[in-house]
Amino acid sequence: MQKFLFAGLLTLGLSSAGLAQKAAQPAPYSAAGRKVTVYTTAQGTKQRLTASPTALTFQAQAQPLETQPTVFVDPTHAFQTMIGIGGAMTDAAAETFAKMPKAQQQEFLKAYFSPTDGIGYTLARTTIHSSDFSTGSYTYITDGDSKLKSFSIDHDRKYRLPFIKQCLAAAGGQLTMHVSPWSPPAWMKTNNSMLQGGQLKPEFRQPWADYYVKFIQAYEQEGVPIWGLTTQNEPMAKQKWESCLYTAEDERDFVKNFLGPTLKKAGMGDKKLIGWDHNRDLAFQRATTLFDDPEASKYFWGLGFHWYETWTGSTMQFDNIRRVKETYPDKHLIFTEGCVENFQFSGINDWRLGERYGYSMINDFNAGTEAWTDWNILLDETGGPNHVGNFCYAPIHGDTRSGQLLYTNSYYYIGHFSKFIRPGAKRVATASSRDILQTTAFQNPDGSVAVVVMNTTAKPLDFQLWVQGQAAPTTSPAHSIMTMIVK
């Protein structure tokens, strides 16, 4: 009887495993007969997201040779789902927008948010009261008001809220918005200043948690839906601007005992709570502390990160993000901020601006990132306004002297992703046989496959796009980025 039961269970197990294996088989995909439209941005040319005049066609090729530079794409193997790509709607962006002529304001809105005439942003970030990219420090309450009775977002009604609402309308009424604080009010902190780091005083952890809820409620009452929030912007950086320090344990315990339960009690348990919101260098250590504690982890949707680890002399540490995804596959990854610092007006046409974006976006997506947020969506001709002189580059600058919009090539490099890789797209397997061709690919909900290929060298390279035994030849120009749409 025992042998019979064992044999039956074994047979059942094999059958179940067989069914599971069969269910997991990837859907077939054939590139035969499909056309490829190529969009190119290249240094030393007029090409800026420029469509090729004729589509590429596939021809059968069973086995590429080692002498044939090739980008391989396999849509039958899919990974994370794209949430969106966009930028931050700061006070600086809103104030610069307000100073531009009406015609340029409309040009700006179309340039960012139209999926046909622009680059189709679908993601946004804003700040919970002031950051360095404000004209001064401010909060939404009066000093000492731990009951938050004076809470008001009236400050934001002059510039920021009208700006966000116009962006929201230009995006078709839907933007995935996440929010971040740079510092609690000064009197809630150990250094009694919103600037220069300091820490949240233990006695104000509950009022500060309530503050997030008040902000989300106030913005949503204004018609601005909030999708998610981070605990603290750059919690390991003591800055000359708004900043507040949290060790990994501090953040874990604040979320576990205060912010997480407070959001849940307020009916905001569905808001995506994002940990870390700082550079890739310490991302894995932060993730282990936040996610290995079950009581804290249940509140965290995932981990946010920035690209400024290069200040230490390091290169961008994409493997740290990959380690987080490998270790915590059920958690999500979102790039929450990046910009090129140390603005100089003479550098607005520097090609390296865009290449930094392309390099980061390709590698972040290949590491498992689901959403990617640039920093200021618009700045003026000084790289501000910024109340501590921390001037930076944006994809578009509004020259308030001439009233003109100035497009850096970052705008076009970001557009090679945001315009063609839409929310709901699945990243698919890609590989390149040459290290100078960096690549990632996504299959959109409409079935089209968007393949991004970037060349940061001074030499053009002939290569072929190879998909399941079908190859389409083309050329990657020097210092270029291409998006190849397979339909």
Strand order in the sheet with 379-380: 379-380, 396-399, 404-407
Q: Given this model, what pLDDT does residue 24 score?
A: 52
In the predicted structure, residue 23 carries a pLDDT above the cut 80 = no
List, for residues 26-67, the tens digit of each pLDDT value.
778 999 999 999 999 999 999 999 999 999 999 999 899 999
Among candidates 276, 166, 271, which has minimal Cα distance to 226? Answer: 271
Mean pLDDT value across the chain: 95
Report residue 328 as tokens. Answer: 């915590």
- Confidence label for 25 from pLDDT (cuts 50, 70 and 90): low
Q: Tell me the mean pLDDT in the region 434-440.
A: 98
In the predicted structure, residue 7 carries a pLDDT above the cut 60 = no
d(CA 127, CA 212): 11
Percent of the chain whose pLDDT exceeds 70: 95
Which residues does 376 contact at the CB level (< 8 Å), separation at least 6? Answer: 87, 88, 90, 92, 93, 133, 339, 392, 394
Q: Given this model, what pLDDT does residue 453 score?
A: 99
List, for residues 406-420, the tens digit of each pLDDT value.
999 999 999 999 999
> Bridge partners of 373?
86
Q: Given this model, what pLDDT does residue 11 score?
A: 38
In the predicted structure, residue 338 carries a pLDDT above the cut 60 = yes
In the predicted structure, residue 5 carries a pLDDT above the cut 80 = no
In the predicted structure, residue 251 carries a pLDDT above the cut 80 = yes
Catalytically active residues are 234, 337
Percent of the chain whose pLDDT exceeds 90: 94
In the predicted structure, residue 22 carries a pLDDT above the cut 50 = no
In the predicted structure, residue 9 carries a pLDDT above the cut 90 = no
Q: Given this model, what pLDDT does residue 26 score?
A: 72
Q: Does the pTM of the predicted model rise above 0.85?
A: yes
In the predicted structure, residue 129 carries a pLDDT above the cut 50 = yes
Q: Tell me the mean pLDDT in the region 452-479.
A: 98
Domains of the chain in sequence order: 35-80+428-486 (2.60.40.1180), 85-423 (3.20.20.80)
Q: Given this model, what pLDDT does residue 16 score?
A: 38
List, for residues 151-210, the tens digit of each pLDDT value.
999 999 999 999 999 999 999 999 999 999 999 999 999 999 999 999 999 999 999 999
d(CA 306, CA 90): 17
Q: Given this model, what pLDDT does residue 160 score?
A: 98
Q: Given this model, what pLDDT does residue 27 score?
A: 78
Q: Given this model, what pLDDT does residue 391 score?
A: 98
